[in-house]
Amino acid sequence: MARFLAVDWDHSEVRYLYGTVSGDQLTLLKSGAAPVSDSDEGSASEKPAEEALSEGEPGEETAPAEAEEAPSGAGGDAGNLPGDLPEPKSARSPKAVSVKDPLSVRRGQVLKRLLRRDGVPSAPVILCIPRDRVELLNLSLPRLAESELPDVVKNQVLRDSTVYAEGYPLDFVPLAAEPKSNTGKIFSASISRAELRNLRTFCSAAGRRPAKIELRLTALAEFVLSGQIGADEPFLLVQEGADEVGFALFREGAPAYFRAVQVDSELAGDERQKRLAAEITRTCRIVAGEEPISTVFLFGEQEEYEPLIAELAEREIGAETVSPWTLPQVAARPEAIKDAARFAPLVGALLAERGKKPRPVLDLLHPRQKPKPPNFTLPLVLLLAVCAGGLAYLWYWNKKDLVRLNNETAALAKDLAALQGEYAQLQPQYSVLENTQNWERYGVTVLDELRDILLRLPPAPDLLISRMAYNGFDPMYNCPVFIISAKITEPQVYQRFYRNMTADNAFGINSRGAVQVPAVTGDETARSAEYNFQAVIFCKRRSAQDYLRKLPDDLRAVSPQKPEFYGQPVDGRESAGSRQPQAEGGEVNR
- Return residue ranges of the chain for CATH 3.30.420.380: 2-47+97-351
| Cα 449 from chain centroid (whole Å) | 84
Dist CA 58 CA 64 (whole Å) = 17
Assess contact for 283 and 236: CB atoms under 8 A: yes
**DSSP code of residue 582:** B
Helix (H) or strand (E) segment spanning residue 249: strand 244-251
Helix (H, G, I), strand (E, B), or coil: what is residue 101? coil
- Please report, for residues 12, 262, 275, the alpha-carbon distance to residue 90 in angstroms, rounded to integers and kept in the order given: 11, 10, 18
Dist CA 151 CA 173 (whole Å) = 14
pTM metric for this prediction: 0.58
Q: CB within 8 A of 390, min separation 6: which ones?
A: none
Count of residues in the chain: 590
Helix (H, G, I), strand (E, B), or coil: what is residue 471? strand
Assess contact for 260 and 131: CB atoms under 8 A: yes
Dist CA 363 CA 156 (whole Å) = 19
Report the chain's C-alpha Rg in angstroms: 59
Q: How far apart are the first and last CA of the chain?
A: 124
Assess contact for 135 and 152: CB atoms under 8 A: no
Beta bridge partners of 128: 8, 214
Q: Give the 3-state DSSP-derived string for 513-530, with helices as H, strands as E and coil as C.
A: CCEEEECCCCCCCCEEEE
Region for residue 571 given its phi and psi (left: phi exceeds 0; alpha: psi -120 to 50; beta: otherwise):
left
Phi and psi angles of residue 380, each rounded to the nearest 5 degrees, phi first: -65, -45
Cα pseudo-dihedral 419, 420, 424, 429, rounded to 10: 40
Q: CB within 8 A of 12, min separation 6: which ones?
A: 35, 36, 242, 243, 265
Assess contact for 129 and 215: CB atoms under 8 A: yes
Give the number of other CB atoms < 10 A from CB of residue 122. Answer: 11
CATH, range 2-47+97-351: 3.30.420.380
Assess contact for 216 and 130: CB atoms under 8 A: yes
Dist CA 482 CA 445 (whole Å) = 13
Assess contact for 187 and 78: CB atoms under 8 A: yes
CATH, range 443-551: 3.30.1360.100
Dist CA 172 CA 364 (whole Å) = 9
* Model pLDDT, residue 232: 66
What DSSP assignment string belongs to 506-571? SEEEEE---EEEEPSSS-TT-EEEEEEEEEEEEE----GGGGGTT--HHHHHH--SPPGGG---BT
Number of H helices, E strands in the chain: 13, 19
List the chain pLDDT tens, one digit each, 590 residues: 899 999 999 888 999 999 999 888 899 999 999 998 755 544 443 443 333 333 333 333 333 333 333 333 333 334 443 334 333 333 344 444 444 689 899 999 999 999 999 999 999 999 999 988 899 998 888 888 888 888 899 999 999 888 888 889 999 999 887 766 778 889 999 999 999 999 999 999 999 999 999 999 999 998 888 877 876 678 889 999 888 899 998 888 888 889 898 888 888 778 888 889 888 888 887 765 667 787 899 998 888 888 888 888 888 888 999 988 888 888 888 888 888 889 999 999 999 998 777 889 999 999 988 887 888 888 889 999 999 998 888 888 888 888 888 899 999 999 999 999 999 998 888 887 887 777 777 777 778 888 889 888 999 889 999 999 887 777 787 788 899 999 998 999 999 999 999 988 888 999 999 998 876 665 555 556 689 999 999 888 777 777 777 777 777 666 555 555 544 554 444 444 344 443 333 333 32
Which of 183, 182, 170, 206 shows the shortest CA–CA distance to 7? Answer: 206
Assess contact for 158 and 166: CB atoms under 8 A: yes
- Return residue ranges of the chain for CATH 3.30.1360.100: 443-551
* Model pLDDT, residue 126: 95
